[in-house]
């Protein structure tokens, strides 16, 4: 077997968590540096993987496969393709940045960073495990650190942090309960006893009946959908992000919720295409509700985190409508957009974290003219904000455009309504930028300092990704397409006249 790159990337944060356990709890510097090291290594490894992945060939690469429980058909299989690789990159980019965004944590840093490392490993695992059993296992691993981190290090504003943590966790668990039923049903239905397997690839080739697909996909849609903050299962998202500490908001909004979109594609669409096609119109309608409804609500928010929270709900609508298109262009766009949104929302939360850490407020009317005191932060806010409103030359424009093209072919009217999102997004984003950054200097804010030293890492790293992929979108789109084209292409021919809910409108 070759060098087990993915396993090493996955284990490094866990080893790091173990190592931290032996560091004295007052050695803050050591704890933080070690955390940076143990998230930096997997980041470098995945960047290496990105550059060595063979785009022309596409498909699963860096495969590591070990039979585990033969009787149940459980296999330890780690691999990435153009769908997993961007998510893996995203996880590590954000994980590494999150360590630096938490640089000034003074309250029990040892426990915090141990949990953070476990969280990162868990999220990473879901994207590279190509076996349902392990996928689900990692998904559940994520819940534990998440809950504790919100409860202990969170902040209480509109809702208490206990409420926020509870809501976040219960939503995750209800989603996973539905998923468990759906996934087990797939496992049991795919092959007769004795040949059963949790391998995702084998499940994709199973012949599920149409009725079963429609039933199972619905379970997955609600399960993964609530993780992706699909309307009307989105209300955890603004409260949850507001209550969570910076690093958790970054990871949750950045990558964790993308497990929903990833699962819908990897397991939902690819294994249950008829079911997906059947429900596609419903997804499109809910997607539009996400985009327009959440964006409108974001307009009247006064807490920075609530703005970004609703904005994130709104942007997930783009992912959903891209998926609902069920064609190569739409799905390409949806995956690329998940990556784009992850980077920009993580940057947003990192910056808001800084503002809150210094000023202890996120209430927009209390802020204003911050670019006088914090010019670097202002640059970061501008980059993240402009990316959020889909400015060309930044990461999100091309994925957004691609989604629109893909979706427009299937649901022209829904797409047009979704595109109104670009106006509303501009409205609330520019309002925030103007009211937080610009305007006359406020003397009471003079005592707060700008980002400096390690705090700059998220800004530089994520900002660079936003700009570079904006100018050279092929860097992102080629990778995604290498995964999507070989998988989705064959499906399309098969799906000719599949019935859809509502009969197509």
**Rounded least distance, CB 401 to other proteins, Å:** 7
- According to the binding rule CB under 8 A, does residue 495 interact with other proteins? no
Residues 280, 116: Cα–Cα separation, whole Å: 36
Residues 238-257 that bind other proteins (CB under 8 A): 239
Beta bridge partners of 363: 303
Pattern of binders to other proteins over 422-441, x per CB under 8 A? Answer: xx--xx--xx--x--xxxxx
Taking CA atoms, 474 is separated from 261, 273, 413, 503, in Å, by 22, 28, 29, 36
- According to the binding rule CB under 8 A, does residue 111 interact with other proteins? no
SS3 228: coil
Residue 132 or 417: which CB sits closer to other proteins?
417
Residue 405 or 495: which CB sits closer to other proteins?
405
Pattern of binders to other proteins over 263-302, x per CB under 8 A? Answer: ------------------------------x--xx-xxx-
The contacts of residue 12 (CB under 8 Å, 6+ apart) are 38, 39, 41, 42, 45
Residue 120 or 326: which CB sits closer to other proteins?
326
Residue 213 or 312: which CB sits closer to other proteins?
312
Residues 38, 13: Cα–Cα separation, whole Å: 5
Beta bridge partners of 89: none
**Rounded least distance, CB 481 to other proteins, Å:** 5
Residue 151 or 427: which CB sits closer to other proteins?
427
Residue 28 or 302: which CB sits closer to other proteins?
302
DSSP readout, 17-35? HHHHHTS-TT-HHHHHHHH
Query: Do 403 and 321 touch, CB atoms closer than 8 A?
Result: yes
Instruction: Give the torsion sign (CA, 295, 297, 300, 306).
Output: negative
Residues 316-375 that bind other proteins (CB under 8 A): 327-329, 332, 369, 371-372
Find the helix or strand (DSSP H, E) in which 186 lies. helix 161-190
Taking CA atoms, 307 is separated from 178, 295, 349, 441, in Å, by 29, 9, 11, 23
SS3 389: coil
**Rounded least distance, CB 216 to other proteins, Å:** 24
Instruction: Check residue 80 and report its DSSP letter.
Output: E
Residue in this structure with the two tokens 């009211």, named with its chain if needed: 435
**Rounded least distance, CB 390 to other proteins, Å:** 9
Pattern of binders to other proteins over 167-206, x per CB under 8 A? Answer: x--x------------------------------------
Residue 141 or 374: which CB sits closer to other proteins?
374
- According to the binding rule CB under 8 A, does residue 481 interact with other proteins? yes
Pattern of binders to other proteins over 220-239, x per CB under 8 A? Answer: ------------x-xxx--x
Per residue in 69-105, is it b (16+ CB within 10 Å) or e — as a string? eeeebbbbbbbbbbbbbbbbbbbbbbbbbbbbbbbbb
**Binding residue (CB under 8 A) for other proteins from 8, 148, 405, 501:** 405
- Site residues for other proteins per CB under 8 A: 167, 170, 232, 234-236, 239, 293, 296-297, 299-301, 327-329, 332, 369, 371-372, 386, 389, 391-393, 397-398, 401-402, 404-405, 408-409, 415-416, 419-420, 422-423, 426-427, 430-431, 434, 437-441, 473-474, 477-478, 481, 484-485, 489
């Amino acid at each position: 077997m070759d060098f087990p790159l993915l396993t090493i990337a996955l284990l490094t944060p866990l080893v790091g968590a173990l190592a931290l356990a032996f560091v004295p709890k007052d050695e803050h510097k050591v704890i933080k540096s070690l955390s940076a090291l143990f998230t930096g290594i997997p980041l470098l490894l995945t960047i290496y993987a990105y550059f060595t992945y063979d785009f022309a060939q596409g498909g699963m690469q860096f495969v590591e496969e070990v039979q585990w429980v033969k009787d149940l058909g459980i296999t330890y299989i780690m691999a990435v393709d153009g769908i997993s690789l961007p998510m893996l990159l995203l996880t590590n980019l954000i994980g590494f940045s999150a360590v630096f965004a938490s640089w000034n944590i003074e309250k029990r840093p040892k426990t915090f960073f141990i949990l953070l490392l476990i969280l990162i490993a868990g999220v990473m695992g879901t994207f590279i495990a190509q076996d349902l059993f392990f996928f689900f296992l990692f998904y559940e691993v994520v819940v534990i650190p998440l809950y504790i981190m919100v409860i202990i290090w969170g902040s209480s504003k509109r809702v208490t942090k206990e409420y926020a943590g509870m809501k976040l966790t219960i939503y995750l668990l209800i989603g996973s309960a539905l998923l468990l039923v759906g996934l087990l049903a797939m496992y049991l239905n795919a092959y007769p006893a004795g040949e059963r397997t949790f391998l995702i690839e084998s499940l994709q080739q199973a012949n599920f009946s149409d009725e079963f697909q429609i039933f199972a996909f619905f379970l997955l849609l609600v399960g993964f959908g609530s993780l992706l903050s699909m309307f009307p299962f989105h209300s955890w998202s603004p409260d949850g992000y507001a209550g969570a500490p910076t690093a958790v908001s970054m990871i949750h909004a950045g990558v964790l919720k993308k497990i929903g979109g990833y699962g819908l594609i990897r397991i939902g669409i690819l294994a249950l295409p008829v079911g997906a096609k059947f429900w596609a119109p419903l997804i499109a309608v809910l997607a539009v509700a996400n985009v327009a409804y959440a964006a409108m609500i974001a307009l009247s928010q006064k807490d920075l985190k609530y703005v970004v929270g609703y904005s994130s709900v709104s942007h997930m609508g783009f992912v959903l409508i891209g998926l609902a298109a069920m064609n190569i262009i739409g799905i390409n766009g949806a995956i690329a957009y998940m990556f784009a949104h992850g980077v920009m929302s993580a940057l947003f939360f990192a910056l808001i974290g800084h503002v809150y850490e210094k000023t202890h407020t996120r209430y927009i009317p209390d802020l204003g003219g911050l670019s006088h005191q914090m010019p670097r932060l202002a640059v970061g806010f501008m980059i993240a904000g402009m990316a959020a409103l889909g400015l060309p030359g930044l990461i999100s424009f091309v994925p957004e455009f691609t989604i629109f093209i893909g979706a427009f072919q299937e649901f022209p009217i829904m797409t047009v309504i979704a595109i109104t999102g670009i106006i509303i997004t501009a409205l609330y984003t520019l309002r925030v930028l103007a009211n937080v950054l610009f305007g006359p200097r406020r003397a009471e804010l003079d005592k707060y300092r700008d980002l400096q030293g390690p705090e700059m890492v998220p800004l530089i790293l994520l900002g660079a990704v936003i700009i570079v992929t904006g100018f050279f979108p092929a860097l992102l789109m080629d990778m995604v397409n290498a995964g999507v084209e070989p998988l989705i292409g064959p499906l399309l021919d098969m799906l000719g006249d599949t019935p859809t809910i509502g009969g197509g409108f």
